[in-house]
């Protein structure tokens, strides 16, 4: 393998039903930073069907070029057609870096690609940087978030990594940016299409996206039960705007809150302007999902709770008393 | 029907704590367990065994002490256990691990290979799909439910972010299972007794018959450059006051920070 042949930063752009997933814009932002430090280009790889109209948006978010693999076979995600399409593009174009969103789709596609290309894949990176000798430094949590590791893929290309939604920040949309859009056709080996998708069902769980919230009122064991969460919901309603209620894992496991609202290692990564942690002790797995929030307030009865180590403002007290008072003050504002 | 379940021994990461002053990991006394998603996968296999009299083989790659989880698998109801272990396999990343396991699996008979979605020590979710690719098998990840028609077709409920999919795939295939798919059965007393009499097949490097450049550290495209703990962030201001005063402090802080 001649490593010097491989250059540019490629982003796999995930669309569902023709809608570009936010994680793609976040990856384009990070790809832009990486490409700028390498003095290389950002290329968005967009598989789908009748999706060319999205190319300009990808350019506005940081791509220099867009490769549209437009084919009926790529309308909905399925492992084999997507692997063949992305593999073909990588083999032809030889990118130095490939970034993939760590969604259920990206985590299905990424490892399949890495095995077909016989290269490394680093999962769920939280930090990506270029080293002095132009290698990709991929940092990710391990041991349930207890340890961080920086990974290198020195002798193989492309250097591939997946990144969870909400971890990177997209750049401001810049409509004045220009770039080249190219439509390519894929030569499929359809004899390998062996997985039949019978139906795709959407459930209510996609209706809320806590990663989009500006303010999160988050409850843990100290909130106790459904009634306790009603107090948090009342506060969220009184604050209004993009305010949502989220939860620690404990309350999801207890069945009080739905998984879509879970913050942490096995839930969502969030970075709102305000994270109000109510009765959350602050296990490392929870901190991993919220410590990048701009301002963190913790309310907890236990003054030794680890959440206070991460909070900008810590209140030792009873959430059931303080939250209704805050709701009153917001309502009366 | 022949089912192979890939399982992994992992430290119980939920028990690992960070020393708050030094920021280092406290790993002493942390127990090793069968990875939860893998246990969900094993239960899926055992349900098929109950219904279709399938033959279930549990396989793991790891240190010699990984025998413990194979004994547990046997006690839960697996028929056969294989331990893939060799010093030459050490330091493997996901690709080298999948190369190794695929080389072993290619020498075994199976209709379906079941793996857990991901292991709690690495959380990569890569080894299952990578094995599928090496063995040229169709894959279905994030399995929540599995039905079998008794002949060749599996109907799978796959969990997605915004709902689920119903997917059909024929044997042979590979699926990755969520721990939440199943409540794993307990080991039976008879199972435990019998498990300790059963022989565990050991596969070393020579028996696998794979090129040394594809396994262990040599076969790993990725390397750990450095590992570190997150360190300790300086704590912010703390107040221990009555509720009325606390609400006031919060309100003025939010105004000061232009959040409201």
Summarize pLDDT for B220-234 with one digit per residue, the tens.
999 999 888 766 566
Write down the pLDDT at residue B50: 96
A107: nearest CA partner in chain B: B125
3 state DSSP class of B141: strand
Write down the pLDDT at residue B23: 62
- Contact flag A144-B173 (C-beta cutoff 8 Å): no
Given a contact cutoff of 8 angstroms between Cβ atoms, the answer to whether A210 and A268 are in contact is yes
B254 shares contact with chain A (CB less than 8 Å): yes
- Closest partner residue to B221 among A156, A200, A317, by Cβ? A156
B172 shares contact with chain A (CB less than 8 Å): no
Cis peptide before B172 (omega within 30 of 0): yes
Average pLDDT over residues B191-199: 90
Average pLDDT over residues A169-184: 96
pLDDT by residue (tens digit) across B109-161?
999 999 999 998 888 999 999 999 999 999 999 999 999 999 999 999 999 98
- Closest partner residue to A142 among B94, B122, B141, by Cβ? B122
Report the DSSP pairing between strands A215-219 and A19-20: unpaired
Cis peptide before A158 (omega within 30 of 0): yes
- Contact flag A197-B166 (C-beta cutoff 8 Å): yes
B236 shares contact with chain A (CB less than 8 Å): yes
**How sure is the predictor about B238, in pLDDT bands with cuts at 50, 70 and 90?**
very high
Among A64-78, A177-191, A206-220, A268-282, name the one with the lowest average pLDDT. A206-220
- Contact flag B139-A141 (C-beta cutoff 8 Å): no
Domains present along chain A, CATH in parentheses: 3-192 (3.40.50.620), 205-331 (3.40.50.1220)
**How sure is the predictor about A207, in pLDDT bands with cuts at 50, 70 and 90?**
low
Write down the pLDDT at residue A333: 63
B239: nearest CA partner in chain A: A315
Task: Transcribe B81-127 into DSSP letters.
Answer: EEEE--GGGTT--HHHHHHHHHHHHTTS--SEEEEES--TTT----H
- Contact flag B236-A311 (C-beta cutoff 8 Å): yes
Q: In angstroms, rounded to a whole number, what is the distance separating the alpha carbons of residues A200 and B140? A: 14
C-alpha dihedral (A331, A275, B244, B234), degrees to nearest 10 = -160
Q: In angstroms, rounded to a whole number, what is the distance separating the alpha carbons of residues B72 and B53? A: 20
Return all residues near A254 (Cβ < 8 A) that are at least 6 apart. none
- Contact flag A103-B220 (C-beta cutoff 8 Å): no
- Closest partner residue to A148 among B136, B227, B242, by Cβ? B227
Q: Which residues of A touch B20 (CB under 8 A)?
A: 306, 309
Q: In angstroms, rounded to a whole number, what is the distance separating the alpha carbons of residues B176 and A1? A: 32
Smallest CA-to-CA distance from A307 within A322, A293, A327, A287 is with A287
B94 shares contact with chain A (CB less than 8 Å): yes
Domains present along chain B, CATH in parentheses: 2-214 (3.40.50.620)
Surface of B (101-130) touching A: CB under 8 A: 120-130
- Closest partner residue to B121 among A143, A296, A316, by Cβ? A143
> So what's the ipTM on this one?
0.90
Q: In angstroms, rounded to a whole number, what is the distance separating the alpha carbons of residues A175 and B29? A: 56
Report the DSSP pairing between strands B237-239 and A313-316: parallel
Residue B27 has pLDDT above 60, yes or no: yes
Longest CA–CA separation in chain B, Å: 72
- Say how many C-beta atoms besides its own lie within 10 A of residue B211's C-beta: 10
Write down the pLDDT at residue B79: 97
Average pLDDT over residues B171-196: 91
Q: In angstroms, rounded to a whole number, what is the distance separating the alpha carbons of residues B138 and B132? A: 7
C-alpha dihedral (B95, B98, B104, B106), degrees to nearest 10 = -100
Instruction: Please provide residue A70's backbone torsions phi and psi, each rounded to the nearest 5 degrees.
Output: -100, 110
Check residue B85 and report its DSSP letter. Answer: -
**How sure is the predictor about B80, in pLDDT bands with cuts at 50, 70 and 90?**
very high
- Contact flag B122-A123 (C-beta cutoff 8 Å): yes
Strands across the sheet containing A136-142: A127-130, A136-142, A147-152, B223-228
B31 shares contact with chain A (CB less than 8 Å): no
């Amino acid at each position: 393998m001649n490593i010097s042949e491989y250059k540019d930063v490629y982003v796999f752009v995930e669309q569902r039903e023709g809608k570009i997933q936010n994680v793609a814009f976040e990856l384009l932002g990070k790809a832009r930073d990486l490409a700028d430090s390498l003095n290389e280009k950002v290329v968005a790889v967009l598989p789908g069907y009748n999706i060319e109209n999205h190319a300009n948006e990808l350019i506005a978010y940081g791509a220099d070029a867009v490769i549209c693999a437009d084919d009926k076979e790529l309308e909905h995600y399925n492992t084999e057609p997507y692997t063949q399409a992305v593999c073909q593009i990588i083999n032809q174009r030889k990118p130095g870096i490939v970034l993939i969103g760590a969604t259920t789709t990206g985590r299905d596609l990424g490892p399949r690609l890495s095995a077909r290309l016989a290269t490394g894949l680093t999962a769920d990176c939280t930090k990506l940087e270029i080293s002095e000798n132009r290698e990709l430094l991929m940092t990710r949590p391990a041991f349930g978030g207890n340890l961080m590791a920086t990974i290198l893929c020195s002798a193989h290309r492309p250097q591939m990594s997946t990144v969870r939604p909400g971890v990177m920040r997209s750049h401001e949309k810049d409509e004045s940016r220009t770039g080249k859009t190219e439509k390519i056709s894929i030569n499929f080996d359809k004899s390998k299409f062996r997985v039949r998708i019978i139906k795709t069902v959407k459930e209510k769980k996609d209706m809320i996206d806590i990663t989009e919230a500006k303010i999160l009122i988050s409850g843990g064991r100290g909130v106790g039960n459904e009634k306790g969460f009603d107090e948090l919901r009342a506060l969220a309603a009184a604050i209004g705007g993009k305010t949502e209620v989220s939860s620690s894992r404990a309350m999801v496991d207890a069945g009080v809150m739905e998984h879509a609202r879970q913050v942490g290692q096995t839930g969502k990564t969030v970075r709102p302007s305000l994270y109000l942690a109510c009765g959350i002790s602050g296990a490392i797995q929870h901190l991993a999902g919220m410590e990048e929030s701009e301002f963190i307030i913790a309310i907890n009865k236990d003054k030794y709770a680890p959440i206070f180590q991460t909070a900008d403002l810590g209140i030792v007290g009873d959430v059931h008393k303080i939250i209704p008072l805050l709701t009153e003050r917001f309502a009366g504002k | 029907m022949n089912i192979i379940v890939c399982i992994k021994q992992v430290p119980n990461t939920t028990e690992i704590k960070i020393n708050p002053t030094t920021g280092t990991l406290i790993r002493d006394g942390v127990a090793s367990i069968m990875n939860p998603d893998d246990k969900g996968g094993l239960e899926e296999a055992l349900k098929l065994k109950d219904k279709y009299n399938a033959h279930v083989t549990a396989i793991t790659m790891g240190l010699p002490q990984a025998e413990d989880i194979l004994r547990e698998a046997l006690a839960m109801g697996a028929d056969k256990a294989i331990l893939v272990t060799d010093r030459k396999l050490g330091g493997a990343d996901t690709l080298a691990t999948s190369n190794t396991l695929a080389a072993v699996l290619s020498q075994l008979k199976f209709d379906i290979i079941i793996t857990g979605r991901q292991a709690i020590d690495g959380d990569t979710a890569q080894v299952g799909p990578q094995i599928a690719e090496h063995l040229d098998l169709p894959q279905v990840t994030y399995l929540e439910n599995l039905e079998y028609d008794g002949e060749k077709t599996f109907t799978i409920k796959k969990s997605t972010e915004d709902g689920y999919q119903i997917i059909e795939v024929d044997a042979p295939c590979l699926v990755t299972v969520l721990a939440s798919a199943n409540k794993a059965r307990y080991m039976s007393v008879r199972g435990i007794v019998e498990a300790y009499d059963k022989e565990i097949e050991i596969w070393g490097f020579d028996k696998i018959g794979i090129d040394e450049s594809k396994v262990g550290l040599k076969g790993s495209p990725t390397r750990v450059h450095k590992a570190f703990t997150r360190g300790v962030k300086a704590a912010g201001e703390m107040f221990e006051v009555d509720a009325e005063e606390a609400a006031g402090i919060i309100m003025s802080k939010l105004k000061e920070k232009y959040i409201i």
